[in-house]
């Protein structure tokens, strides 16, 4: 429609204007081979004058490398995920990779379609932190020769590396310790469809209680601050003593706020821990005891591993992150 359309400058036009062949221009761009200083400068000047920028598309098509990676997560809206994302992006900047972001919103359909799109777009590698995708799905990438780093998921395959999280060990020790010194029944907040990590931890929770012949509670809870707050305001009308294990800080905060609003004391009456601690664990009052993994570091590490995987020089395909317990004011110990 608009007549002022200004076409992209191509390598060919640069060559013409500089009076050389396009091969020479290509050499200058990639400073490969040797080009006479004189012609190099001539070409560089023309490039600057014309505002030429090589087409990443054409380069990618010719070299079979896009220097872009795909990242797939359930949502960008969780603090621990954006922390990870930030780590990923930071290292990608150093390594000159571009990040394409895909979210599943806990929908398997979205997850599958994301895989399709990534393969179509020739990403050089993929970082997966999403429970909608199982081992089989991830191996689809491999069949298209796309390396994958799977976070919170231990998979072994040729072009797949993984970063598993260690929560069970710490949690179990925490629980055993509490069995000795604590005075409350522990209740686990089960969230429907919240992924494998939470399930694993829930299993650990149950298992440990069974092994030691202890009573425990499990209650369903929405993955929402407001719902959980309301549920617990109701619950705390009857229950006056409880140790609650919540998935995230927001959920833990909902329990804490409900407790306070019901006149219960933390940690005397109610104790709470958050499994995935973030900086909000220290901001919210009372501060929330939590199991911590530095997600920014996870993000960084995942890129390091992926880049090595892409270059066929990754030695150790598994890099485990152990969580550690940070005692704050929401628990006694």
Residues forming the site for a second copy (CB under 8 A): 1-2, 4-6, 8, 51, 53-58, 60-61, 66, 68, 75-77, 79, 81-83, 85-86, 89-90, 93, 98-103, 105, 110, 116-117, 119-122, 143-145, 158, 225, 250, 253-254, 257, 260, 279-280, 282-285, 312
Q: Give min distance, CB of 19 to a second copy, in A.
A: 25
Q: Give min distance, CB of 176 to DNA, in A.
A: 57
Please check whether residue 66 is in contact with residue 121, taking contact to mean a CB–CB distance below 8 angstroms.
yes
Q: Return the number of the residue (208 or 250) whose C-beta is nearest a second copy.
A: 250
With CB under 5 to 8 Å by kind, the binding choice for 82 among a second copy, DNA, none is a second copy
Please check whether residue 263 is in contact with residue 49, taking contact to mean a CB–CB distance below 8 angstroms.
no
Instruction: Collect all residues with Cβ–Cβ distance below 8 Å to 72 and sequence separation of at least 6.
Output: 102, 103, 104, 111, 114, 115, 118, 126, 127, 128, 129, 130, 133
Q: Return the number of the residue (90 or 137) whose C-beta is nearest a second copy.
A: 90
Question: H/E element holding 52?
Answer: none
Q: Return the number of the residue (35 or 79) whose C-beta is nearest DNA.
A: 35
Q: Give min distance, CB of 122 to a second copy, in A.
A: 5
DSSP state of 288: P
3-state class percentages of the chain: helix first, strand second, coil last, to nearest 5: 45, 20, 35
Please check whether residue 15 is in contact with residue 24, taking contact to mean a CB–CB distance below 8 angstroms.
yes
With CB under 5 to 8 Å by kind, the binding choice for 11 among a second copy, DNA, none is DNA
238-254 burial, b at 16+ Cβ within 10 Å, e below that, comes to ebeebbbbbbbbbbbbb
Report residue 3 as tokens: 């007549």
DSSP state of 157: B
Q: Give min distance, CB of 133 to a second copy, in A.
A: 16
With CB under 5 to 8 Å by kind, the binding choice for 269 among a second copy, DNA, none is none
With CB under 5 to 8 Å by kind, the binding choice for 233 among DNA, a second copy, none is none
Q: How far is Cα 96 from Cα 90, in angstroms, rounded to an integer? A: 10
Spatial CA neighbour of 217 closest among 270, 155, 147: 270
Q: Return the number of the residue (8 or 238) whose C-beta is nearest DNA.
A: 8
Q: Give min distance, CB of 95 to a second copy, in A.
A: 13
Instruction: Collect all residues with Cβ–Cβ distance below 8 Å to 333 and sequence separation of at least 6.
Output: 177, 178, 181, 182, 327
Question: H/E element holding 51?
Answer: none
Q: Return the number of the residue (39 or 296) whose C-beta is nearest DNA.
A: 39
Q: Return the number of the residue (58 or 76) whose C-beta is nearest DNA.
A: 58
Q: How far is Cα 330 from Cα 274, in angstroms, rounded to an integer? A: 10
Q: Return the number of the residue (14 or 221) whose C-beta is nearest DNA.
A: 14
Binding residues (CB under 7 A) for DNA: these are: 7-8, 10-12, 19-24, 26-27, 29-30, 32-36, 38-40, 52-55, 57-59, 61-64
Q: Give min distance, CB of 71 to DNA, in A.
A: 24
Q: Give min distance, CB of 308 to a second copy, in A.
A: 13
With CB under 5 to 8 Å by kind, the binding choice for 16 among a second copy, DNA, none is none
Q: Return the number of the residue (7 or 213) whose C-beta is nearest DNA.
A: 7
Q: Give min distance, CB of 37 to DNA, in A.
A: 7
Within 13 Å, how many C-alpha atoms sit on residue 224's CB side? 5
With CB under 5 to 8 Å by kind, the binding choice for 185 among a second copy, DNA, none is none
CA-to-CA separations, 305 to 100, 164, 193, in angstroms, rounded: 17, 13, 29
């Amino acid at each position: 429609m608009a007549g002022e359309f200004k076409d992209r400058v191509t390598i060919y036009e640069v060559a013409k204007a500089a009076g050389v062949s396009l091969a020479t221009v290509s050499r200058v761009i990639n400073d490969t081979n040797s080009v006479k200083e004189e012609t190099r400068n001539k070409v560089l000047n023309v490039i600057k004058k014309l505002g030429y920028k090589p087409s990443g598309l054409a380069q990618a098509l010719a070299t079979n490398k896009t220097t872009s990676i795909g990242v797939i997560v359930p949502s960008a809206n969780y603090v621990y995920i954006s922390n990870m994302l930030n780590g990923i992006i930071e290292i990608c900047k150093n390594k000159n990779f571009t990040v394409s972001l895909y979210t599943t919103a806990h929908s398997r359909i979205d997850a599958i379609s994301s895989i399709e799109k990534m393969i179509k777009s020739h990403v050089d590698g993929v970082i997966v932190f999403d429970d909608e995708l199982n081992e089989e799905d991830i191996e689809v990438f491999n069949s298209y020769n796309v390396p994958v780093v799977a976070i919170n998921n231990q998979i072994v395959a040729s072009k797949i590396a993984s970063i598993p999280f260690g929560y069970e060990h710490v949690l179990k020790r925490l629980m055993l310790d509490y069995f000795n010194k604590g005075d409350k029944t522990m209740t686990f907040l089960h969230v429907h469809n919240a992924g494998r990590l939470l399930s694993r931890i829930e299993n650990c929770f149950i298992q440990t209680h069974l092994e030691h012949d202890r009573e425990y509670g499990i209650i369903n809870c929405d993955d929402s601050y407001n719902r959980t707050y309301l549920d617990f305001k109701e619950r705390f009308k009857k229950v006056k003593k409880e140790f609650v294990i919540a998935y995230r800080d927001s959920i833990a905060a909902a329990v804490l706020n409900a407790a306070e609003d019901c006149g219960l004391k933390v940690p005397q009456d109610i104790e709470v821990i958050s499994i995935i601690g973030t900086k909000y664990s220290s901001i919210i009052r009372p501060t929330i005891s939590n199991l911590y993994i530095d997600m920014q570091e996870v993000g960084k590490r995942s890129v390091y591993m992926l880049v090595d995987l892409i270059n066929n020089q990754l030695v150790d395909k598994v890099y485990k992150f152990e969580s550690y317990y940070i005692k704050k004011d929401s628990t006694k110990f």
